[in-house]
């Protein structure tokens, strides 16, 4: 059985952020990631929490970033787009499979 | 001993001029404050209380005015004093985070809620954004302190 190294472990919020980025595709930057988490996961998160998580994931090599365009609404500040790397996808897949493996055979009321 | 000013005034009104002079002399001999002095003191206390209340009301007014000025900006831009608080965010993603906040402020919050509530929202988001960075910094500081303690420093 393949063991997950400590460094590969993804926390719950990290998984949510990575999934939000994958859902958004090319338009994943701070504001849209936060909005996606609020709309889909029904979870309220501050921009500070989102960005500290993005920084942590980028440092681990699970995300890459690229500076985007400057707009007037942003007061002349550039967007920073994020993308999940191949390593990030592999680690995310492992984390989700772990949850599914633990979930197998467990009966929760009201949950299919 | 002090006279109750109201009682003293009523009592005094009932005395004649001579009676009044004798009475006040007696009070002085006994080391008791005269009716006039009591009246003056009571008036001074009332005046001082009224002045203190006025100063308090003025201070509250000034504080409320400063808070409103800090929250509401003169034009459609976000409240400028909040920018100083946002300087606590590390340089790496500071400009991108502020850009995201400004974008949401201008495109979503301001058109829907107006300048006052949008300013309020911006301040709330500012403190909420800073929180995780302060916590991260604190953990780093506390972590080092714990390490130093461990190695006997």
* pLDDT at residue number A42: 94
| Chain B interface includes A111 (CB < 8 A) | no
User: Are B97 and A34 within 8 A, CB to CB?
Assistant: no
Q: How far is CA B94 from CA A26, A30, B104, in A?
A: 21, 11, 16
| pLDDT tens, residue by residue, B58-116 | 888 888 877 777 666 667 788 888 888 898 888 999 999 999 999 999 999 999 998 88
Query: Under DSSP, is residue B37 helix (H, G, I), strand (E, B) or coil?
Result: helix
| Chain A interface includes B88 (CB < 8 A) | no
| pLDDT tens, residue by residue, B20-69 | 777 777 777 766 666 677 777 778 888 888 888 888 888 888 888 777 77
* pLDDT at residue number B3: 55
| Chain B interface includes A80 (CB < 8 A) | yes
The alpha carbon of residue A1 is apart from the nearest alpha carbon of chain B, in Å, by 35
Of A34, A49, A78, the CB nearest to B96: A78
| Chain A interface includes B80 (CB < 8 A) | no
- Answer for the pair B126, B85: CB distance below 8 angstroms, yes or no: yes
Q: Which residues, other chains included, contact A36 with Cβ-Cβ below 8 Å and sequence gap of 6+?
A: A20, A23, A24
* pLDDT at residue number A1: 42
| pLDDT tens, residue by residue, A35-62 | 999 999 999 999 999 999 999 999 999 9
Please give the model's pTM, rounded to 2 decimal places. 0.68
Of all residues in chain B, the percent with pLDDT exceeding 70 is 76
Question: Which chain B residues are within 8 Å of A31, Cβ to Cβ?
Answer: 100, 103-104
Question: Which chain A residues are within 8 Å of B99, Cβ to Cβ?
Answer: 30, 74-75, 77-79
Question: Which chain B residues are within 8 Å of A44, Cβ to Cβ?
Answer: none
* pLDDT at residue number B139: 75
What pairs with residue B5 in β-bridges?
A: none
User: Are A77 and B107 within 8 A, CB to CB?
Assistant: no
What pairs with residue A80 in β-bridges?
A: A67
């Amino acid at each position: 059985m393949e063991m997950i190294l400590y460094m590969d472990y993804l926390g719950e919020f990290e998984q949510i952020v990575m999934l939000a980025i994958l859902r958004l595709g090319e338009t994943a930057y701070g504001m849209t990631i936060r909005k996606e988490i609020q709309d889909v996961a029904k979870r309220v998160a501050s921009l500070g929490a989102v960005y500290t998580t993005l920084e942590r994931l980028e440092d681990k090599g699970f995300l890459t970033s690229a500076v985007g365009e400057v707009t007037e609404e942003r007061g002349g500040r550039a967007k920073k787009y994020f993308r999940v790397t191949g390593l990030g996808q592999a680690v995310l897949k492992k984390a989700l499979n772990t949850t599914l493996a633990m979930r197998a055979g467990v009966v929760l009321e009201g949950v299919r | 001993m002090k006279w109750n000013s109201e009682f003293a005034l009523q009592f005094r009104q009932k005395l004649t001029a001579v009676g009044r002079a004798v009475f006040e002399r007696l009070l002085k001999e006994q080391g008791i404050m005269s009716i006039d002095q009591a009246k003056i003191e009571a008036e001074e206390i009332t005046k001082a209380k009224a002045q203190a209340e006025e100063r308090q009301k003025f201070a509250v007014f000034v504080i409320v005015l400063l808070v409103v000025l800090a929250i509401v900006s003169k034009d459609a831009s976000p409240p400028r004093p909040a920018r100083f608080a946002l300087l606590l965010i590390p340089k790496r993603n500071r400009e991108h985070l502020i850009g995201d906040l400004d974008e949401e402020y201008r495109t979503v919050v301001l058109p829907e809620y107006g300048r006052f509530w949008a300013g309020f929202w911006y301040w709330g988001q500012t403190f909420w954004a800073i929180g995780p960075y302060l916590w991260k910094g604190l953990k780093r500081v506390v972590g080092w302190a714990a390490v130093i303690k461990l190695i006997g420093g």
